[in-house]
Amino acid sequence: MTAHVEPQDDFKVQRVASVLRHSVTENIRNAILVGRFRPGERLPERDLCEMTGVSRTLVREALRQLESEGLILVIPHRGPVVARLSPEQARGIYQVREELEGLACELFAEHATQAQLTALRKALEALKRTLPKGTALQQLAAKNAFYQQLLDGAGNEALTNSLHLLNSRVMLLRSTSIQAPGRSKHSIAELTELLQALEARDGKAARAAARRHVRNAADVAIKILQESLQSESAD
């Protein structure tokens, strides 16, 4: 299923010299994540330059970074294309994510400050406001902000770094699952349950709630990937 790209999703890069390279990479990454470019689709440099408003040099640097993240592939005689995640690859990513995010939630319950808990609560409220009516890009940003607050409160650098290594592919799957009909409502309910466990400082309950949330998201995303694969085979 392809995310709906709203006209207000703007991928033009703000020209601040110190962050320009990062911004180009981030904007191309976001364009992929919200479905501006589909899995298997070519990424012509000319189109990316027009989309971001920057030079080919910056676009090429961004593409190298996205290739290292596994979000794109560079194919001989075709150039860069958006990577396809197979159902098997997705299942493996979700298995790792389930363990890591479960641990993150347990650590958050045990170690987060009251200020960090308040920030997480606000991030969830922002997510509740964004999911029903926000654009695909806004929805993804709100979900990522919630998880960043969660990792900050967990306070484990090695855990955060491990999840960041998977970050682009996790976000790609997150953008896949969140667009499924009815998934947003269920996701909010699951995260609300998780927050309740965190507020109670119940690490084991928080870990269990986080794992259920990831498993439910996995079921949705893998089903979408399988249906997409079957549809392409039929064509």
Query: Where are the domains positioned within the chain?
Result: 15-82, 87-234
Alpha-helical runs (H) found in 36-182:
45-52, 56-68, 87-111, 114-133, 136-154, 157-165, 167-178
Q: Classify domain 15-82 by CATH architecture.
A: Orthogonal Bundle (1.10)
CATH superfamily membership of 87-234: GntR ligand-binding domain-like (1.20.120.530)
Q: Which structure tokens are listed for 26?
A: 């981030």
The residue type of 18 is S
Phi, psi torsion values for 116, nearest 5 degrees: -70, -35
The residue type of 202 is D
Which regions in the chain score pLDDT beneath 50?
A: 1-2, 18
CB 185 within 8 A of CB 220: no
Q: What is the pLDDT of residue 131?
A: 87
Specify the length of the chain in residues.
Answer: 235
Q: What is the pLDDT of residue 8?
A: 58
The CA distance from 222 to 207, in Å, is 22
